[in-house]
């Protein structure tokens, strides 16, 4: 086991470390001792040549504590206000802790809509790589003050997964308040064991992840496993590990048998296709016939108008759409070369007829292969 870990992690240099609220907060708000312990380790790893980006929670928990609120926050505006209060303090704590090692930090606050725009996505990548070049640690959180519903990541597990994609990281370590992913719910079963290695995210693995959250965190184990699916699809190994344990980062990076390692998928998607598959929200559906399904899913082909038998939703050129089979099973997601109204007119036809029907033809394909991520 340890050998698989060692060989998987041997060339790791760029590491995303996600630190959950349940790790960072104690009864008195932020747990400064744990933060210092983790920062000491990160500083040491940085000095050894690792390039580290931190994704941190803890703003809401810290703000709540500052306001003397003990129960759960009732409304979204209350959570947003608490985050606005807590984020500054969270950053100051990180900045002081890294400062002791002569390392500067940079605050980055993001929403989902920052990532769905390809230009902004690339801008974030450039900023992060410059910070890394300068030896500055980026400390990233969701911009809770502005993020609601459509533009919200939902939890920092998802945000960290997206950052792993943006930076093309070699490893994502998700530090939590548990030992890792258990085979059964440890709260209900005494003989629950930590699963050390996950080679494939099967239904059993998904069932093992309970949605129960701690009182301070947001995602729970379920969202950590959903994030694992994304990260491993990017070709990046993913480890869920106990964040309060002293020396945990060194142990994990050295390939010690700690927490749960999810192996990367051998056939992974390119960064751009991951962006299409996991970042963009679909604006409509194209129902495709069996011939098109085989062409796309088995032969790596583009989607032509001839294979489309139905269009749902109102979308424009360039919008992300989902390709589904006749039973509604989702097969692929991609960027449409034609809007929904145009596709209504050309579906079922040969590409050579596009110009005759629409009066123009910019592309033969409705979705080009390069802009499509296949799921099945």
Query: Between 63 and 307, whose beta carbon lies closer to ligand GLU?
Result: 63
* Sheet hosting strand 14-19, strand order edge to edge: 105-110, 137-142, 51-56, 14-19, 171-176, 238-242, 260-262, 197-198
**By CB under 6 A, is residue 143 in contact with ligand GLU?**
no
Provide, rounded to whole angstroms, the least separation between the CB of residue 158 and ligand GLU: 8
Residues in the chain: 376
Q: Shortest approach of ligand GLU to residue 162 CB, angstroms?
A: 13
Which is nearer to ligand GLU, 140 or 169 (by Cβ)? 140
Cβ proximity to ligand GLU, 242 vs 284, nearer residue: 242
Q: With CB under 6 A, what is the number of residues at the site for ligand GLU?
A: 16
The phi, psi pair for 279, rounded to 5°, reads -100, -35
Residue 79 C-beta: closest distance to ligand GLU, Å: 8
The neighbouring-strand residues paired with 109 are 141
Instruction: Answer whether 8's CB lies under 8 Å from 261's CB.
Output: yes
Nearer Cβ to ligand GLU, position 141 or 178?
141
Rounded least distance, CB 187 to ligand GLU, Å: 19
Taking the least distance from each CB to ligand GLU, the nearer of 156 and 167 is 156
Which member of 142, 319, 342, 365 binds ligand GLU (CB under 6 A)?
Answer: 142
Kindly state whether residue 302 participates in binding ligand GLU, applying the rule CB under 6 A: no
- For the chain, helix (H) and strand (E) counts, in that order, are 15, 15
* Segments in 134-270 forming alpha helices (H): 156-167, 203-208, 220-233, 248-253
Return the residue of 114, 144, 319, 365 that touches ligand GLU, per CB under 6 A.
144
Q: Could you say which of 8, 141, 174, 337 contacts ligand GLU (CB under 6 A)?
A: 141
CA distances 40 to 44, 45, 55, 258, Å, are: 6, 9, 16, 19
Q: Which is nearer to ligand GLU, 220 or 305 (CB)?
A: 220
| Span between the terminal Cα atoms of the chain, in Å | 30
Q: How many Å separate Cα 337 from the centre of its chain?
A: 27
Stretch binding ligand GLU (CB under 6 A), from 58-66, 231-239, 263-271, 335-343: 58-66
Q: How far apart are CA 250 and CA 252, in angstroms?
A: 6
Task: Note the residues at the interface with ligand GLU (CB under 6 A).
Answer: 20-21, 57-61, 83, 141-142, 144, 155-156, 217-219
């Amino acid at each position: 086991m340890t050998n698989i870990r060692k060989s998987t992690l041997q060339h790791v240099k760029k590491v995303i470390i996600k630190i959950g609220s349940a790790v960072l907060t104690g009864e008195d708000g932020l747990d400064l001792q744990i933060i210092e312990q983790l920062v000491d380790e990160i500083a040491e790893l940085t000095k050894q040549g690792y390039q580290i980006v931190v994704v941190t929670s803890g703003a809401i928990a810290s703000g709540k504590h500052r306001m003397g609120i003990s129960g759960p926050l009732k409304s979204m505006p209350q959570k947003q206000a608490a985050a606005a209060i807590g984020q500054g303090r969270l950053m100051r704590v990180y900045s002081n802790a890294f400062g002791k090692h002569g390392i500067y930090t940079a605050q980055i606050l993001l929403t989902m809509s920052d990532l769905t725009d390809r230009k902004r996505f690339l801008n974030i990548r450039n900023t992060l790589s410059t910070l890394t070049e300068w030896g500055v640690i980026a400390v990233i959180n969701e911009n809770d003050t502005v993020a609601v519903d459509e533009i919200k990541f939902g939890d920092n597990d998802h945000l960290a997964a997206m950052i792993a994609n943006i930076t093309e990281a070699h490893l994502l370590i998700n530090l939590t308040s548990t030992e890792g992913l258990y085979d059964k719910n440890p709260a209900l079963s005494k003989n629950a064991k930590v699963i050390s290695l996950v080679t494939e995210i099967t239904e059993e693995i998904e069932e093992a992840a309970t949605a129960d959250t701690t009182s301070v965190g947001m995602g729970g184990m379920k969202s950590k496993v959903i994030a694992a699916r994304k990260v491993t699809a990017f070709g990046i190994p993913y480890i869920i590990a106990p964040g309060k344990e002293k020396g945990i980062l060194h142990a994990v990076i050295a390939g010690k048998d700690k927490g749960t390692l999810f192996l990367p998928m051998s056939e992974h998607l390119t960064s751009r296709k991951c962006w299409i598959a996991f970042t963009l929200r679909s604006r409509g559906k194209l129902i495709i016939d069996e011939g098109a399904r085989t062409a796309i899913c088995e032969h790596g082909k583009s989607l032509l108008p001839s294979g489309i038998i139905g269009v749902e939703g109102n979308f424009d050129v360039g919008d992300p759409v989902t390709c589904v089979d006749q039973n509604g099973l989702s097969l692929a997601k991609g960027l449409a070369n034609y809007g929904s109204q145009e596709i209504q007119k050309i579906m079922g036809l040969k590409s050579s007829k596009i110009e005759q029907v629409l009066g123009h033809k910019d592309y033969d394909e409705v979705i080009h292969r390069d802009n499509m991520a296949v799921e099945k």
